[in-house]
Amino acid sequence: MALFVASSAHAAALSDDCAQLIVALAPDWNSVHGRLYLLEKAGGKWRAQAGPVPVLFGKNGLAWGSGIAGQGEPGLRKHERDGRAPAGIFRIGEVFTYDAALPPGANYPFHQVTEADVWSDDPRSPNYNRHVVIDPRNPPDNYSHEKMRGGDFAYRWLIEIRHNSDPPVPGNGSAIFFHIRRGVNRPTTGCTTMAEPDLVRLVGWLRAPQRPCYALLTNADYSARWKSWNLPPPELVGLK
């Protein structure tokens, strides 16, 4: 499952091998609404590709997560069931979909989910924060998990945000994805959501050789950290 692991789990900045970057910005730490941008790097220079796209975060806002950057910052820390989206920089993992194929033109590692696919959200489980395939006719009853093929449209497309992945620390948060929003004002329990057409475009844009990453920050934190974290200049993501 660990498709894209940073060269150092505790690196303090975006690595140079990342040539596709998703940036989401929140007005403040308690915001549920934000905006998202897609950027690509060529010849060492970042260029905006799309955005701003409206997105939703956790129902309680943001908290620092664990990825390429963010885990060493002072302030609120992401933990299981806190209703906050993890802030920082993260690798992008696999795409999961109800469909048998990606959208036309897309080319990225994906897995078609069935009722057998779940994601462990139980800190007691040895599979915590991992994709697990079970027997849906005889599901395990000793640990909790999230069904990846839910009863609605929202999980038709999932893109893994590799928070707390290398390795997972029990209780630090699990099952963090991009997925389809359930309403224009309906926040999440920790994921980043958007309208389905925007998410499908994101799936079609991703390319594994570009080592895509995700940066989620408040406006103020992006402005304060972009240079030390090796992020694109603020003007490319609507900041001055």
Instruction: Write out pLDDT tens, residues 86-128.
Output: 999 999 999 999 999 999 999 999 999 999 999 999 999 999 9
Instruction: Tell whether 68 is covered by a domain.
Output: yes
Instruction: Tell whether 14 is covered by a domain.
Output: no
Instruction: Tell whether 153 is covered by a domain.
Output: yes
Report whether 70 contacts 64 (CB < 8 A).
Answer: yes
Instruction: Tell whether 207 is covered by a domain.
Output: yes
- Measured at the CA of 167, the angle between CA 166 and CA 173, to 5 degrees, comes to 95
Confidence of residue 2 (pLDDT cuts 50, 70, 90): very low
Instruction: Tell whether 8 is covered by a domain.
Output: no
- The total domain count for the chain is 1
- CA torsion sign for 122, 128, 129, 133 is negative
Percentage of residues of the chain with pLDDT beyond 90: 88
Instruction: Tell whether 138 is covered by a domain.
Output: yes
Instruction: Tell whether 58 is covered by a domain.
Output: yes
Residue 71, token pair as written in the block: 């885990």
Instruction: Tell whether 15 is covered by a domain.
Output: no
Query: What is the extent of the structural domain holding 201?
Result: 20-237
Phi-psi region of 29 (alpha: psi -120 to 50; beta: other; left: phi over 0): alpha
Report whether 90 contacts 69 (CB < 8 A).
Answer: no
